[in-house]
């Protein structure tokens, strides 16, 4: 351990330090400890009069953590862990504050903290390479590095209601609760707001008050905490292997070690789902309820709706008055898209005779008078009003330091005029040497914050040490890196249901705030690995400078893949699989079958029927998927992928189900013959024969007689394209549209995507060479029946061509679409960014491909002359009910 260099005060009364930390909560305390140990002089400043941050300010009755306290703790020092034992599963605010006190004492942190000191503004001095912070109490601070540990939930939201000043009774804010406590005994009291703080405090205030009136704008989901001692199983896990447990937490999705759920809602019976739900209800663990029921609960509207309904049943069961129960029941957001709450007796409190619930959706507050609260329908006289109206989350405390002036006089408020933009949630381009702990763009509030805070602090302090050792004095994120992070954030947001709710996660609770999902939704473990990637790739996306012209900049975007594609490819890389082409055709087929067995089962459709149809040289198997809606439906003839060598009706089963469900059409997946047993043109001729037969037997198959559509993925896309050319040239069948997903269209390998994506994205260049060799002799390869790009393209059916950025076949797919358009064929293209060859067929694994699959289904419906499908009604309903952001969020 090296001794920290001392802070000094200049003649002009400025305090000089290497690093200024704003905030002395969980983050500020750990920062101070690490900075000192790194030999950097540091001061922390906090508006509060003591340590604790959140736990200093939030002293309202019932205030507790909602992540189990054994998880919500520092883990950086095993000795600290040994020295402290929590008394409860969810500790109260006083106990958590005692813990932070204990930490401050143990590491002697207070001597470098200036309490009661608010930082009011900050300016970067480019020449001196220093930040100058102005405070409302005492010396300004000049520092090389300025770290905002100002908290995500530390800026209480002011009430939006007129007349608060006229009220003659007492006004309290849960986020600024009096230290001496409040006695409500015998008083009429109002609580406005039913977010976490409201839900925790209402039962306790109701026990004291003569009468409690609760004003609710948006009901929230709350589950019983079942508080008590630390659960035995958790304690045993920790005792058994504390460091292993902590390490698992660091790489988990939410910062709490829980397994990845692999069972999908549609694989479970009603009884099984109910049993899982009851188990979670009895467990009293938010993270468990948020992640452990079924794999699609947090990513799929249908999977989530099943959980919401079980939850609503509980509310109806707990609240005796049906009207009150209905008012308390959330319908306007998917479970988990808004932070659910842990409660103790919350719903039962509304059965008390001294508690009234007012639904502000039906009777908004019109004013606060000298004696109470007026709505359109009633006047409620009270002695005290408690505002439990939440926080200007994530950005509130950061932007309250105003202005923060970065390079070229630009302020942070200007830089964030369209919403917060950061690199990694830790830095902002144009604001050198400024760091934020749990800033917007970090996992922060979607995680166990103790784990996230430690990771952020370690990453930042390690960078400062590395910069010092390498002789760099400034660090600034590049614009490209930041733009890449913003895009990655948006990609991640499509993965979850957070985008469907108006909440403080999206800024919707603060009138006029720019809206967008602010925390990083990609998970704690993936985030950690990305931060590590930035370092291992030479501080990717940062410009470092130092004295005498020292400079370094590896510019670039740290994540270009879709987040789920990144995870899938990461898992495949970890499996260290042999190249498929090294297994031989039979071995490769066995491998693919085994691989497919491990994936989620496809979703239910109306009916699935296996059959055979005549091919060019004997019967071919097919599998027919019929929608659950009344027919007759148009038919899509589908050809699976697998390089003309692998695959069958089973291999593309989830994709076919998805097309059937989304498009509302029959899908007939045809098992054509494979190479090397049956080389070119067997697959193409089988496909053509199948399309012909299916079109001729449409009515018999329960489909709509007349033209069919064709679709295919990869080599299946190749033979779908070829089938269209053959049908045009050989007198039918009539094909009204072609959906080509990542199709093979040409036999040359010199387009850039073959080189850019030659390895690392599952379908490799050498695997494609192997497929070609097995299927087709070099002489045959220019035949349009295998290289449709070389065929005549005029007069072909309209096409929807899908290509993926990280696919060797990308450029030939685009070339085919462009050539079709040039030949006068109506073409739409979907060039999917961040996706790889298998993205669209890995249904329910690569969730970010769902919107692309919805577009494909729309295209198919368009080809078949069906009307556009209305947006998913439940999503619509959620959006409609949340029409006004001001009304929606608390």
Ligand X SMILES: Cc1cc2nc3c(=O)[nH]c(=O)nc-3n(C[C@H](O)[C@H](O)[C@H](O)COP(=O)(O)OP(=O)(O)OC[C@H]3O[C@@H](n4cnc5c(N)ncnc54)[C@H](O)[C@@H]3O)c2cc1C
Q: Which of 41, 58, 509, 764 binds ligand X (CB under 6 A)?
A: 58
Task: Tell me: does residue 289 bind ligand X (CB under 6 A).
Answer: no
**Cβ distance 298 to 496 under 8 Å?**
yes
Task: Tell me: does residue 505 bind ligand X (CB under 6 A).
Answer: no
In three-state secondary structure terms, 161 is coil
Q: Which stretch binds ligand X (CB under 6 A): 316-324, 396-404, 509-517, 637-645?
A: 396-404
Binding mask 176-205 for ligand X (x = CB under 6 A): ---------------------x--------
Q: Tokens 């920790």 identify what position?
A: 238
What residue ranges in 542-606 does DSSP mark as E strands? 542-545, 551-553
CA proximity to 712, closest of 762, 633, 656, 662: 656
Task: Tell me: does residue 150 bind ligand X (CB under 6 A).
Answer: yes
Residue with Cβ nearer ligand X (74 or 688): 74
What is the Cα–Cα distance from 119 to 48, expressed in whole angstroms?
11
Residue with Cβ nearer ligand X (438 or 849): 438
- Sequence-distant (6+) residues with CB within 8 A of 761 are 569, 806, 807, 808, 836, 837
Task: Tell me: does residue 45 bind ligand X (CB under 6 A).
Answer: yes
Task: Tell me: does residue 153 bind ligand X (CB under 6 A).
Answer: yes
**Cβ distance 734 to 710 under 8 Å?**
no
Minimum distance of ligand X from residue 758's CB (angstroms)? 43
Torsion of CA 571, 573, 574, 578, to 10 degrees: 120
Query: Exposed, middle or buried, 548 (CB in 10 Å: 0-12/13-18/19+)?
Result: exposed
Minimum distance of ligand X from residue 89's CB (angstroms)? 11
Q: Which of 53, 303, 737, 808 binds ligand X (CB under 6 A)?
A: 53
Structure tokens at 53: 């941050």
What is the Cα–Cα distance from 375 to 860, expressed in whole angstroms?
52
Q: Which of 141, 315, 384, 401 binds ligand X (CB under 6 A)?
A: 401
Q: Which of 32, 65, 802, 857 binds ligand X (CB under 6 A)?
A: 65
Minimum distance of ligand X from residue 601's CB (angstroms)? 35
Task: Tell me: does residue 22 bind ligand X (CB under 6 A).
Answer: yes
Task: Tell me: does residue 844 bind ligand X (CB under 6 A).
Answer: no
Pairing of strands 799-806, 827-836: parallel
Task: Tell me: does residue 568 bind ligand X (CB under 6 A).
Answer: no
What is the Cα–Cα distance from 48 to 57, expressed in whole angstroms?
8
Torsion of CA 82, 84, 88, 93, to 10 degrees: -150
Task: Tell me: does residue 139 bind ligand X (CB under 6 A).
Answer: no
Task: Tell me: does residue 216 bind ligand X (CB under 6 A).
Answer: no
Minimum distance of ligand X from residue 395's CB (angstroms)? 12
Minimum distance of ligand X from residue 403's CB (angstroms)? 12
Window 72-131: residues binding ligand X (CB under 6 A):
72, 118-119
Size of the site for ligand X (CB under 6 A): 38
In three-state secondary structure terms, 736 is strand
**Cβ distance 413 to 398 under 8 Å?**
no
Task: Tell me: does residue 438 bind ligand X (CB under 6 A).
Answer: yes
Structure tokens at 622: 């097919």
Task: Tell me: does residue 290 bind ligand X (CB under 6 A).
Answer: no
Query: Exposed, middle or buried, 677 (CB in 10 Å: 0-12/13-18/19+)?
Result: exposed
Task: Tell me: does residue 23 bind ligand X (CB under 6 A).
Answer: yes
Query: Exposed, middle or buried, 242 (CB in 10 Å: 0-12/13-18/19+)?
Result: middle
Minimum distance of ligand X from residue 516's CB (angstroms)? 20
What is the Cα–Cα distance from 191 to 62, expressed in whole angstroms?
14
Residue with Cβ nearer ligand X (393 or 739): 393
Q: Which of 18, 42, 43, 46 binds ligand X (CB under 6 A)?
A: 46
Q: Which stretch binds ligand X (CB under 6 A): 16-24, 209-217, 237-245, 586-594?
A: 16-24
Q: Which stretch binds ligand X (CB under 6 A): 152-160, 240-248, 343-351, 369-377?
A: 152-160
Task: Tell me: does residue 453 bind ligand X (CB under 6 A).
Answer: yes
Residue with Cβ nearer ligand X (450 or 721): 450
Q: Which stretch binds ligand X (CB under 6 A): 63-71, 268-276, 563-571, 788-796?
A: 63-71
Residue with Cβ nearer ligand X (524 or 694): 524
CA proximity to 319, closest of 361, 279, 288, 356: 356
Binding stretches for ligand X (CB under 6 A): 22-28, 45-48, 53-54, 56, 58, 63, 65-67, 72, 118-119, 149-154, 197, 397, 400-401, 437-438, 448-450, 453
């Amino acid at each position: 351990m090296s001794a920290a260099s001392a802070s000094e005060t200049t003649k002009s009364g400025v305090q000089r330090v290497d690093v200024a930390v704003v905030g002395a909560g969980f983050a500020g305390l750990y920062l101070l400890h690490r900075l000192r140990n790194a030999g950097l002089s540091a001061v922390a400043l906090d508006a509060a009069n003591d340590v604790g941050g959140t736990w200093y300010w939030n002293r309202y009755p019932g205030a507790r953590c909602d992540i189990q306290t054994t998880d919500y703790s520092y883990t950086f020092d095993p000795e600290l862990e040994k020295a402290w034992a929590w008394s409860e599963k969810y500790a109260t605010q006083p106990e958590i504050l005692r813990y932070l006190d204990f930490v401050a004492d143990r590491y002697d942190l207070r001597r470098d903290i200036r309490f009661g000191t608010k930082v009011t503004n900050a300016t970067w001095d480019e020449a001196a390479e220093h930040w100058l912070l102005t405070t409302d109490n005492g010396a300004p601070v000049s520092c090389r590095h300025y770290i905002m540990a100002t908290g995500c939930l530390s800026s209480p939201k002011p009430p939006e209601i007129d007349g608060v000043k006229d009220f003659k009774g007492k006004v309290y804010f849960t986020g600024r609760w009096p230290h001496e406590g409040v006695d409500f005994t015998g008083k009429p009291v109002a609580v406005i707001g039913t977010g976490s703080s409201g839900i925790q405090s209402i039962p306790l205030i109701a026990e004291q008050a003569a009468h409690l009136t609760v004003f609710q704008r948006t009901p929230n989901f709350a589950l019983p905490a079942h508080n008590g001692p630390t659960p035995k199983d958790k304690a045993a896990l920790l005792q058994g292997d504390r460091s292993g447990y902590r390490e698992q937490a660091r790489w988990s999705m939410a910062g709490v070690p829980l397994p990845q759920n692999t069972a999908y809602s549609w694989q479970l019976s009603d009884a099984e789902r109910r049993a899982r739900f009851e188990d979670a209800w009895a467990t009293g663990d938010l993270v468990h309820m948020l992640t452990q029921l079924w794999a699609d609960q947090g990513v799929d509207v249908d999977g989530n709706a099943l959980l919401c309904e079980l939850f609503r049943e509980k509310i109806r069961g707990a609240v005796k008055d049906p009207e009150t129960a209905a008012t308390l029941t959330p319908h306007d957001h998917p479970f988990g898209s808004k932070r659910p709450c842990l409660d103790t007796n919350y719903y039962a409190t509304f059965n008390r005779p001294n508690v009234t619930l007012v639904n502000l959706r039906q009777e908004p507050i019109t004013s606060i008078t000298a004696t109470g609260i007026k709505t359109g329908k009633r006047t409620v006289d009270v002695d005290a009003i408690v505002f439990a109206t939440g926080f200007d989350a994530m950005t509130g405390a950061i932007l309250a330091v105003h202005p923060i002036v970065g390079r070229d006089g630009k302020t942070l408020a200007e830089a964030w005029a369209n919403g917060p933009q950061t690199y990694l949630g830790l830095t902002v381009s144009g604001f050198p040497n400024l760091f934020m702990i749990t800033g917007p763009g970090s996992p922060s509030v979607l995680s166990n914050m103790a784990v996230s805070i430690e990771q952020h602090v370690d990453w930042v302090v390690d960078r400062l040490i590395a910069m010092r050792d390498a002789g760099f004095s400034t660090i600034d994120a590049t614009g490209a890196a930041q733009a890449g992070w913003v895009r990655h954030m948006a990609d991640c947001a499509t993965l979850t249901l957070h985008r469907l709710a108006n909440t403080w996660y999206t800024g919707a609770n603060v009138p006029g705030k720019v809206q967008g999902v602010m925390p990083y939704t990609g998970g704690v473990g993936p985030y950690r690995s990305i931060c590590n990637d930035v370092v291992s790739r030479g501080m990717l996306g940062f410009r470092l400078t130092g004295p005498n012209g020292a400079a370094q900049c590896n510019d670039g975007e740290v994540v270009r893949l879709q987040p789920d594609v990144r995870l899938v490819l990461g898992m495949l890389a970890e499996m260290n699989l042999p190249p498929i082409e090294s297994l031989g055709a039979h071995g490769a087929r066995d491998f693919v079958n085994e691989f497919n067995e491990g994936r989620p089962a496809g979703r239910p459709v109306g009916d699935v029927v296996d059959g055979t149809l005549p091919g060019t040289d004997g019967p071919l198997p097919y599998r027919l998927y019929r929608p659950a809606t009344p027919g007759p439906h148009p038919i899509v003839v589908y050809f699976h992928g697998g390089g003309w060598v692998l695959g069958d009706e089973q291999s593309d089963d989830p994709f076919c189900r998805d097309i059937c469900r989304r498009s509302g059409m029959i899908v007939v997946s045809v098992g054509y013959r494979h190479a090397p047993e049956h080389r070119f043109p067997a697959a193409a001729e089988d496909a053509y024969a199948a399309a012909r037969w299916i079109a001729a037997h449409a009515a018999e198959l329960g489909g709509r007689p007349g033209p069919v559509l064709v679709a295919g993925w990869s080599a299946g896309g190749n033979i779908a394209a070829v089938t269209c050319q053959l049908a045009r040239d050989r007198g039918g069948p009539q094909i009204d549209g072609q959906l080509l997903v990542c199709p093979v269209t040409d036999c040359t390998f010199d387009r850039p995507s073959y080189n850019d994506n030659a390895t690392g994205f599952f379908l490799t260049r050498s695997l494609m060479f192997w497929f070609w060799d097995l299927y087709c002799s070099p002489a045959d390869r220019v035949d349009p029946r295998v290289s449709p790009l070389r065929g005549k393209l005029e007069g072909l059916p309209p096409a929807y061509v899908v290509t993926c950025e990280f696919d060797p076949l990308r450029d030939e797919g685009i070339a085919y679409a462009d050539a079709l358009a040039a030949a006068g064929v109506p073409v739409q293209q979907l060039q999917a960014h961040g996706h790889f060859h298998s993205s669209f067929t890995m249904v329910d694994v690569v969730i970010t491909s769902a919107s692309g699959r919805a577009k494909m289904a729309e295209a198919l419906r368009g080809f078949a002359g069906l009307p556009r499908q209305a947006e998913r009604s439940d999503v619509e309903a959620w959006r409609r009910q949340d029409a006004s952001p001001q009304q929606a969020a608390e």
